[in-house]
Amino acid sequence: MTPTATTPAAHELSLTRTIAAPRHAVFRAWTDPALLKQWFAPRPWSVSEAELDVRPGGSNFIVMRSPDGEDYPNRGIYLEVVENERLVLTDAYSEAWVPSEKPFITIILTFEDEANDPGKTRYTARVRHWTAEDRETHEGMGFHEGWGRCTDQLEEVAARL
């Protein structure tokens, strides 16, 4: 039996933007809990808690709070950390390589100097889902609008650093 390759597009959503801040600032906004709390959820949502152990195998715990005060906890781990260049994280594990009950995504973030615009960052977020159905669900939840708004908020925070 020949294995069937899955087209990444069937499982992936992505966003690429130029952020008006240097990549070390954008990376820091992703890796400093106090900064992440300022931008990670699209307003009027907020982040009530952020614990980040930013190293391969390190865990993260982020609680997003709805405008009605309902909390949505998210646990995951970092798979790859290349300072100021790349972060890869997933919810496939909850902590210390303990499998999660229902994995949903792996996030691949890249931070590159914008070639034609010094001091700006080419930011790419690729979000891979375990199934095409999960991708469709995430898209239906408002991935493009929500991640776009969060990226605007990320830019606001990174530009102040």
What pLDDT does 7 receive? 53
pTM of the predicted model as reported, rounded to 2 decimal places: 0.92
3-class SS string, the chain: CCCCCCCHHHHEEEEEEEECCCHHHHHHHHHCHHHHCCCCCCCCCEEEEEEECCCCCCEEEEEEECCCCCEEEEEEEEEEEECCCEEEEECCEEECCEECCCCCEEEEEEEEECCCCCCCEEEEEEEEECCHHHHHHHHHCCHHHHHHHHHHHHHHHHHHC
Residue with the bigger pLDDT between 94 and 30: it is 30
What pLDDT does 2 receive? 39
pLDDT digits (tens, 9 = 90+) for 56-109: 999 999 999 999 999 999 999 999 999 999 999 999 999 888 999 999 999 999
Residue with the bigger pLDDT between 116 and 31: it is 31
Q: Which fold has domain 13-160?
A: Alpha-D-Glucose-1,6-Bisphosphate; Chain A, domain 4 (3.30.530)
